[in-house]
Each structure stands twice: as C-alpha cells, then as structure tokens.
Amino acid sequence: MSNPGDYFYGWNLLYKTIEKDINKKDDLLIALVHFVLTKHSQFRCIGLGENKTLAEEEESSGSELLPDNWNADEHNYALRYIYDKLLYILLGLRTEGSIIITLLNVKTRKVSNICLSPDELVSDIRGSITKMIPSASQLTDRYRRELLEPVYQGQNKSTTTQTNTTSTTTDRPDPLRIGMPLHPLGQYHPAGVEPRPFGFPEVGRGDLDPFARGGHGNLLPFPSHPGPGGMQPRFDPFGPLPDRNIRPHPNPDHLPPPGFGGDYFM
C-alpha cells in the first residue's frame, strides 16, 4: 500500500471503542479483520453468531463498530456481516499457538481461511497500530488477498476471466500444433475437400483418397479413354502398362526354365 497512514485512518476510532475489551493478542487480529471489512470494503456488522438466515430487517441495518461481547468466548469468534444484501460470516478458532480465521459467503457457499500466529505478529495489545502489530500493512494485504477476494471480489474476477478466455481462445497459438493452422486465412478449400491435417505434406494422400490434390498415389489411374458404356472400373493389370510401350504383347517363352533349349510351351 502506498501510504499506510491513509490506509489506517479510522483505526484509532475503532480501537478506542474496544480498547477496554481487548485482553489477548487474538482480539487484535480479529479487530483488524473487522477494520478491513468495514472501512475498506463497506461491510456492515449485524451481530454475533453463525445464523445463516438473513432477516429482512437486517438488510438495512449494520454498523462499522464491533458488537458487545464480540470476544466474550475465550477460543471462538463468530461475527455476521452484510454487503449488498448478501450475508457473510466471519469465524475465528483458537488452536494451539495459532488462530484460524474463516470468511463464508452464505449465498455462494464460498469459504476462505487464513492461519496466523498471534505471538509472532502481535508485539503488544496497547499502543499505536504499528507498535501493536509491526507488520500491520503486510497483514492487511494478506487479509484482502486470502480472506476477502476469494469470496467477494473473486466472483467478479472469475466471470471476467471466463469471458476473456472465451473471446481469445481462437487467437492463442497451440503449442502442440505442427505447421500452419487447419484453416489459415486466405486459404480456399473446395467443398468436400478437407485441408491437410497438422500442416504435414500430402505424402501418400493419394493412396487413401484417389481424388486428392496429390494424385492417385500408388494406385493406377483411371483410363484416359473410357470404353463403351462410360467409365469402367479400375483394375491392376497382370502385365506391363500398355501406354509405356514395353513389350505390350510379351512372348510367354521369353524366359524358359534353365537347362531347357527346346520350345516346350505350345
């Protein structure tokens, strides 16, 4: 934060109202969460407890002050807040050497939590904010990022991220793609003809598709002059191609068996 003095403006007023109630370090950490919620996020505290039902009269009530007996329990804290007609519940649970602070959005059921060590963070329970909590600026930033944003601002961020992802999916490069995209701009493909996949050259394409641009492959082409009755089916001839002019009518005796001199093939 740019100016800690500006950020903590209003803390002294809150602290004066609860100073006589603070008797342990955990109280200061909960009070600082309350300050972040009410001063900088416009939450309003509507009382104590874990009741997840929001009464109609509570929607227009609430205060920036902590309610009476907010730290009466030695080990637990339970405070109810409202923002934009939505109910939030702040819980604090004292464990051995730590305190776990949880914030619940009752409507969305989103929950965030943070685990802190009061003995490491709190130096004193009397004095200025920087004397009591030397790392108050860093701690309030953690409250904002780890407690508040996941259940409050995080909802809007998630929507924005999904919208941007949808609109830019086609523009992102695919790290697994080899060669050009399937349908690069300006490339025309006739109807019924698929573009070559993954940008590979069309080697052997004709073996699978005789009509492909790569030609007929290893298969023999259609006759250039179809016979009577239109196009005839293709076949693999049993001799050399007639259009190559290589012995179109071979003599069956041109390779007699070895050791035989006569004409034994009638």
Mean pLDDT on 153-182: 43
What is the rounded CA–CA span in Å between residue 208 and residue 219?
10
pLDDT of 227-263, one tens digit each? 555 555 555 555 555 555 555 565 655 566 666 655 5
Residue 185's pLDDT band (boundaries 50, 70, 90)?
very low
pLDDT of 110-161, one tens digit each? 999 999 999 999 999 999 999 999 999 999 999 999 999 999 854 443 333 3
